[in-house]
């Protein structure tokens, strides 16, 4: 779609400027603090420079570099290049020569446009052995031009331009390697300027504040949109942007602004600290983007610009910037000015709770690509995946990078379920991840580049960074992977007047994060910096963060130098398993990067090498060097039996104890329920139950457990805490199977079970008798074709089709009984892998045996609630919709949640639904 049927090719922009030079010659086109440029001057100077470019040999389609700071000359240069049908390529004088050299060598521009002063500095630093393109002087355009024809008919561009002709070339920042040139066409520019023009509805008295560097594609929003309506551009120099007093002064003369979220957040803090939040009420339009925009940034924008329409723009250079937009404040009917204030008829504000990027611009399509299913989804509620763009904004590709172009710019697959007009057309894979909400908004989840593997689990570092900032633990946060654990760097927020510093000790920070994050997502190192390191392009330098001296940043505490013998032994084992040079004695093992399986390794090592024998529950209760040493001293003093000799279950309290609150027990785990426990904390006392029998067999396959044994362990621990009912019990996955058995045992003992909740509790259907396999076969004909096709593709790809459909009619083979304990000299990664496989085998075998016994007993439980993963069901549609639980529960309530199996106890939507159901059941019980 085009705005009002108008076209915005480079040639059309030139025609508009020439027309304005006649109809409004003295209207101001731009100002830069040094000079003012009228539309008449812009038209004349751009014709003169275009003539000089032609004299330099520039032909249509040739690349021309603009090596200028943000200034009126830059605008003249862009228009001159468009007049000769050249290709605009911005270069920044702030970039290192080596960086520029790489770009020029790659793009091979026909000429550079610069000033004499900047050219002299460039030539002095430029390597003699490397050819520098011909430089055309952009200064003093009106001097010595008496013999040149500068009439409106001269050099107005070739009117035969095609949508596929190259219009501009933008190079990425190169923070992840050699910079890449993105090729954009006339059609792409038409989409960019046309959609920005349509959305903004700019008028001739608007003043656009230009703060973006010319090498960022969003700068064209500031530079070209004003030219379509005769508005003005205010070039704000970098030093005035960083001086907020000067920046506010510049904005007082502007009506339109696009700026990054970090700049706007800093501006907000300055205005609030200086009591100047009422200074920018005249602004008409403000937008942000280019990085993740947190809800608190949007709220800050509302305070700074109460009378402006506010947007988040999301896109990339590869899709001509205009991909999606999210309008979170709109103005209906601008009224007349009263004094210095602008009166508006109405202000509409949208509720913000997530980093939304909104809906697609007209002419753009947005799809989410599911890597596992190899499927594209369009506006499917709850669907997550890599964000891909189609439509008029998709660029030509990367300059001289055919392999990278083929990876990022792909053809829409014939197999995808979508409208036929998309088949075979090009899509761009952004590398960003998003999620469709129920309201049809796209939520930004972070970069694919910043997803890391931590102990086999995919972790999105942006999610951790967002949480730390949202909790106001820092003004800015960056999380990087160091070795096998995460490290977080924090820039503290400036304290409020009269308030103490906002900095917290790492142990306190980790404790706060533990309420919201699973253990694998809690950074092992938490370091404060005065500011984040940046590269020459002003962007965050993650490589510099990873090369910092971590121990110096952390600061070695002299209090840790005096360790007891037990503490020294435990600290040594911690360091070996965590791959750290030092672990503070009061620092949580889990906050330092540890996790449950690694804790079992530590316990084994302490037992075999140090003679310190503790239980898993004791470890969870005291996960620090000092805490474990104290627990071991108590055990020795009491003469208790070695923990390994008598497996038992000790509850782990996950929330502060409050006698006025009811209690809920979460089975077969403690730290996996951290997020859920944090959600429940305001209403419940929460305990996690973990038996040694579940963990010791991970190290020695000669040991095993049954569902019935675990239920008995849990029953003993549970009744020691709560002597009488009502009891509320919940289990996730295998924990749900144990919860079912526990509820049965408690009912038989006439204990009052108020609620049994099972969260995607997997019943191993492949262990069922033949009739269940027949039912599974019949489900093939009831499964939606697209789900069946995705399932078959996945099964064939994993060579598991026969395993899943044909041959395994009964019980899958047990774990290899010949395999004994995992040797201590096994490499670290291999040991964790073996332990993880052992965990799966042991729980599977226990569940299979339990299921066969359940089939024989024909036992049925009166009532239960089952939370089911919609994502898991879509991946495995041949499973029963109730996972066969209806066969064993008389009254089963099922609740579907759009989250994966593992995410059912971490995803905010999922844990919110679980918390609501628990509260409903409790209130219902009170009524009885």
Q: What is the pLDDT of residues 682-701, one digit of tens each?
A: 888 888 887 767 655 444 44
| CA dist., res. 83 & res. 157, Å (int) | 4
| 3-state secondary structure (DSSP) of residue 310 | strand
Give the per-residue pLDDT at 485. Answer: 65
The first and second tokens of residue 636, run together, are: 């020795």
pLDDT range class, residue 336, cuts 50, 70, 90: very low
Residues 482 and 629 in one domain: yes
Does residue 314 carry a pLDDT above 60? yes
Does residue 153 carry a pLDDT above 70? no
| CA dist., res. 198 & res. 8, Å (int) | 12
685-689 and 652-653 beta bridge pairing? antiparallel
The first and second tokens of residue 919, run together, are: 């509260």
CA atoms within 13 A of residue 471's CA, in its CB half-sphere: 20
Does residue 414 carry a pLDDT above 60? no
Query: Of 469, 490, 494, 471, which is closest to residue 480 (Cα–Cα)?
Result: 490
Does residue 891 carry a pLDDT above 60? yes
Give the per-residue pLDDT at 577. Answer: 73
Residues 322 and 427 in one domain: no
Residues 335 and 385 in one domain: no
Q: Give DSSP secondary structure letters for 357-393.
A: EEEEPTTEEEEEEETTTTEEESS-TT-EEEEEEEETT
| CA dist., res. 426 & res. 429, Å (int) | 10
Q: Which residues contact 830 (CB under 8 A, 6 or more apart)?
A: none
Backbone angles phi, psi at 237, to 5 degrees: -65, 150
| CA dist., res. 19 & res. 38, Å (int) | 13
Residues 651 and 641 in one domain: no
Q: Structural domain tally of the chain?
A: 5
- Answer with the one of 447, 468, 502 that is the final residue of a domain: 447
Place of tokens 């699973």: 518
Q: Which domain, by its residues, includes 779? A: 647-928
Ramachandran region of residue 404, left (φ > 0), alpha (ψ -120 to 50) or beta? Answer: alpha
Q: Are 630 and 567 in contact (CB under 8 A)?
A: no
pLDDT range class, residue 182, cuts 50, 70, 90: very high
Answer positive or negative: Cα dihedral of 63, 67, 73, 75.
Answer: positive
* Domain-embedded: residue 108: yes
| CA dist., res. 763 & res. 712, Å (int) | 20
* Domain-embedded: residue 191: no
Does residue 714 carry a pLDDT above 80? yes
| CA dist., res. 103 & res. 122, Å (int) | 14
Alpha helix stretches (DSSP H) within 579-706: 596-605, 616-621, 625-638, 674-680, 692-695
The neighbouring-strand residues paired with 731 are: 667, 758
In the chain, what is the straight-line distance between the N-terminal and C-terminal CA atoms, in Å?
61
| CA dist., res. 675 & res. 707, Å (int) | 25
DSSP 32: -
| CA dist., res. 650 & res. 720, Å (int) | 10
Give percent above pLDDT 70 in the chain: 72
Helix (H), strand (E), coil (C) string for 499-541: CCCCCCCHHHHHHHHCCCCCHHHCCCEEEECCCCCECCCCCEC
Cβ atoms within 10 A of the Cβ of 152, count?
A: 15
CA atoms within 13 A of residue 323's CA, in its CB half-sphere: 29
| 3-state secondary structure (DSSP) of residue 792 | helix
* Burial of residue 527 (number of CB atoms within 10 Å: 0-12, 13-18, 19+): middle
* Domain-embedded: residue 227: no
Residues 707 and 836 in one domain: yes
Does residue 601 carry a pLDDT above 80? no
CA atoms within 13 A of residue 877's CA, in its CB half-sphere: 19
- Which range is least confidently modeled, 37-41, 78-82, 102-106, 186-190? 102-106
Give the per-residue pLDDT at 879. Answer: 63
* Domain-embedded: residue 166: yes
* Burial of residue 160 (number of CB atoms within 10 Å: 0-12, 13-18, 19+): exposed
Alpha helix stretches (DSSP H) within 749-809: 770-779, 785-797, 801-805
Residues 375 and 348 in one domain: no
Most confident of 24-33, 448-457, 760-769: 24-33
CA distances from 192 to 186, 188, 319 (A): 10, 6, 9
Give the per-residue pLDDT at 10. Answer: 94
Ramachandran region of residue 573, left (φ > 0), alpha (ψ -120 to 50) or beta? Answer: alpha
- Taking only the tens place, the pLDDT of each residue in 794-831 is 555 544 444 444 333 333 333 333 333 334 333 333 43
Residues 260 and 280 in one domain: yes
Residues 641 and 652 in one domain: no
Cβ atoms within 10 A of the Cβ of 690, count?
A: 29
User: CATH number, domain at 554?
Assistant: 1.10.1200.10
* Domain-embedded: residue 215: no
Answer positive or negative: Cα dihedral of 805, 808, 809, 814.
Answer: negative
Cβ atoms within 10 A of the Cβ of 334, count?
A: 13
| CA dist., res. 687 & res. 666, Å (int) | 6
* Domain-embedded: residue 134: yes
* Domain-embedded: residue 193: no
Residues 437 and 467 in one domain: no
- Answer with the one of 593, 626, 645 that is the final residue of a domain: 645
Ramachandran region of residue 811, left (φ > 0), alpha (ψ -120 to 50) or beta? Answer: beta
- Taking only the tens place, the pLDDT of each residue in 268-310 is 878 887 889 999 999 999 999 987 788 888 999 999 999 999 9
User: CATH number, domain at 168?
Assistant: 3.40.50.980
Q: Are 835 and 822 in contact (CB under 8 A)?
A: yes
Q: In this predicted model, which residue has the larger pLDDT, 411 or 223?
A: 223
* Domain-embedded: residue 210: no
Backbone angles phi, psi at 498, to 5 degrees: 80, 5
CA atoms within 13 A of residue 477's CA, in its CB half-sphere: 26
User: CATH number, domain at 431?
Assistant: 2.30.38.10
Residues 631 and 658 in one domain: no
The first and second tokens of residue 375, run together, are: 């499927």
Give the per-residue pLDDT at 374. Answer: 65
CA distances from 376 to 383, 417, 418, 798 (A): 10, 8, 9, 20
CA atoms within 13 A of residue 149's CA, in its CB half-sphere: 6
| CA dist., res. 53 & res. 136, Å (int) | 7
Query: Of 597, 842, 837, which is closest to residue 705 (Cα–Cα)?
Result: 842
Residues 154 and 271 in one domain: no
Give the per-residue pLDDT at 128. Answer: 75
Residues 158 and 103 in one domain: yes
Place of tokens 């003469």: 639
The neighbouring-strand residues paired with 233 are: 30, 208
DSSP 146: T
* Burial of residue 262 (number of CB atoms within 10 Å: 0-12, 13-18, 19+): middle
CA triple 172-176-177, angle to 5 deg: 80
Query: Of 314, 334, 336, which is closest to residue 326 (Cα–Cα)?
Result: 314
- Answer with the one of 645, 669, 685 that is the final residue of a domain: 645
pLDDT (mean) for 99-111: 89
User: CATH number, domain at 742?
Assistant: 3.40.50.1820
CA distances from 176 to 172, 180, 320, 592 (A): 10, 10, 21, 28
Q: Are 196 and 218 in contact (CB under 8 A)?
A: no
- Which range is least confidently modeled, 21-35, 151-165, 532-546? 151-165
Does residue 579 carry a pLDDT above 50? yes
Cis peptide before 726 (omega within 30 of 0): yes
CA atoms within 13 A of residue 143's CA, in its CB half-sphere: 4
Does residue 856 carry a pLDDT above 90? no
Give the per-residue pLDDT at 840. Answer: 62
């Amino acid at each position: 779609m085009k705005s009002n049927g108008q076209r915005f090719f480079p040639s059309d922009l030139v025609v508009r400027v020439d027309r304005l030079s006649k109809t409004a010659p003295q209207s101001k086109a731009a100002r830069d603090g040094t000079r003012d440029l009228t539309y008449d001057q812009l038209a004349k100077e751009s014709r003169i420079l275009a003539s000089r470019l032609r004299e330099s040999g520039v032909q249509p389609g040739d690349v021309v570099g603009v090596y200028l700071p943000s200034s009126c000359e830059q605008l003249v240069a862009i228009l001159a290049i468009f007049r000769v049908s050249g290709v605009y390529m911005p270069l920044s004088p702030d970039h290192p020569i080596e960086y520029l050299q790489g770009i020029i060598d790659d793009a091979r521009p026909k000429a550079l446009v610069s000033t004499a002063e900047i050219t002299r500095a460039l030539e002095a630093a430029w390597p003699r052995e490397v050819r520098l393109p011909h430089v055309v002087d952009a200064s003093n355009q009106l001097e010595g031009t008496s013999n040149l024809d500068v009439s409106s008919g001269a050099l107005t561009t070739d009117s035969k331009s095609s949508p596929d002709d190259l219009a501009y070339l933008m190079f990425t920042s190169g923070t992840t390697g050699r910079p890449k040139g993105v090729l954009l066409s006339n059609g792409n520019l038409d989409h960019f300027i046309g959609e920005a023009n349509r959305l903004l509805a700019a008028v001739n008295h608007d003043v656009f504040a230009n703060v973006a560097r010319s090498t960022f594609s969003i700068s064209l929003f500031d530079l070209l949109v004003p030219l379509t309506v005769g508005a003005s551009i205010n070039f704000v120099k970098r030093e005035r942007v960083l001086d907020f007093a000067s920046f506010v002064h510049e904005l007082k003369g502007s009506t339109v602004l696009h700026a990054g979220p970090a700049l706007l957040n800093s501006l907000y803090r300055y205005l609030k600290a200086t009591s100047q939040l009422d200074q920018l009420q005249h602004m008409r339009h403000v937008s942000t983007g280019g990085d993740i925009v947190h809800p608190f940034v949007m709220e800050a924008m509302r305070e700074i610009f109460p009378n402006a329409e506010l947007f988040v723009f999301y896109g990339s250079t590869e899709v001509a910037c205009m991909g999606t937009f999210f309008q979170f404040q709109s103005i209906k009917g601008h009224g007349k000015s009263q004094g210095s204030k602008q009166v508006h008829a109405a202000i509409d504000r949208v509720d913000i709770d997530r980093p939304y990027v909104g809906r697609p611009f007209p002419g753009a399509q947005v799809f989410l690509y599911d890597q596992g299913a190899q499927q594209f989804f369009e506006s499917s509620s709850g669907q997550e995946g890599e964000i891909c763009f189609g439509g008029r904004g998709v660029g030509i590709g990367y300059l001289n990078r055919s392999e990278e172009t083929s990876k990022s710019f792909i053809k829409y697959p014939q197999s995808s379920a979508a409208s036929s007009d998309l088949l075979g057309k090009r899509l761009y894979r952004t590398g960003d991840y998003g999620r469709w909400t129920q309201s049809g908004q796209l939520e930004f989840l972070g970069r694919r580049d910043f997803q890391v593997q931590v102990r086999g689990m995919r972790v999105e570092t942006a999610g951790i960074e967002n949480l730390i900032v949202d909790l106001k633990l820092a003004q800015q946060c960056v999380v990087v992977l160091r070795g096998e654990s995460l490290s977080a760097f924090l820039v503290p927020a400036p304290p409020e007047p009269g308030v103490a510093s906002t900095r917290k000790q790492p142990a306190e920070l980790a404790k706060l994060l533990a309420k919201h994050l699973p253990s694998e997502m809690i950074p092992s190192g938490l370091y404060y910096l005065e500011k984040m390191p940046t590269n020459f392009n002003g962007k965050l330098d993650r490589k510099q963060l990873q090369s910092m001296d971590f121990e110096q940043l952390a600061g070695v505490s002299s209090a840790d130098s005096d360790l007891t013998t037990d503490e020294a032994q435990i600290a040594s084992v911690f360091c070996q398993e965590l791959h750290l040079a030092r672990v503070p004695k009061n620092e949580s093992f889990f906050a330092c990067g540890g996790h449950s399986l690694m804790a079992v390794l530590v316990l084994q090592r302490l037992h075999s090498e140090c003679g310190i024998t503790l239980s898993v529950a004791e470890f969870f209760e005291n996960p620090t060097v000092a805490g474990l040493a104290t627990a071991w001293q108590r055990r020795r003093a009491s003469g208790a039996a070695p923990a390994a000799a008598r497996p038992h279950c000790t509850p782990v309290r996950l929330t502060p104890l409050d006698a006025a609150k009811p209690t809920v027990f979460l089975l077969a785990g403690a730290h996996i329920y951290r997020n859920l426990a944090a959600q429940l904390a305001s209403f419940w006392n929460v305990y996690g139950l973990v038996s040694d029998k579940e963990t010791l067999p991970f190290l020695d396959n000669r040991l095993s457990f049954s569902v019935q044994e675990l239920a008995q362990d849990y029953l003993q621990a549970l009744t020691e805490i709560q002597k009488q009912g009502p009891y509320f019990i919940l289990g996730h996955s295998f924990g749900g199977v144990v919860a079912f058995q526990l509820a049965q045992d408690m009912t038989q003992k006439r204990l009052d079970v108020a609620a049994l909740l099972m969260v995607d509790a997997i019943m191993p259907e492949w262990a069922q008798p033949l009739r269940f396999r027949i039912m599974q076969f019949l489900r093939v004909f009831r499964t939606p074709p697209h789900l069946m096709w995705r399932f078959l593709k996945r099964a064939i790809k994993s060579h598991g089709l026969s395993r899943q459909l044909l041959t395994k009619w009964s019980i899958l083979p047990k774990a290899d009984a010949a395999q004994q304990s995992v040797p201590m000299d096994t490499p670290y990664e291999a040991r964790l892998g073996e332990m993880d496989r052992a965990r799966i085998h042991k729980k599977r075998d226990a569940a299979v045996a339990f299921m066969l016994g359940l089939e024989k007993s024909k036992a049925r439980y009166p009532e239960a609630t089952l939370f089911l993963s919609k994502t898991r069901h879509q991946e495995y549609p041949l499973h029963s919709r109730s996972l066969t639980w209806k066969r064993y529960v008389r009254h089963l309530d099922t609740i579907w949640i759009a989250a994966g199996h593992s995410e059912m106890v971490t995803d905010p939507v999922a844990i919110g639904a679980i918390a609501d159901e628990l509260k409903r059941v409790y209130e219902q019980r009170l009524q009885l």
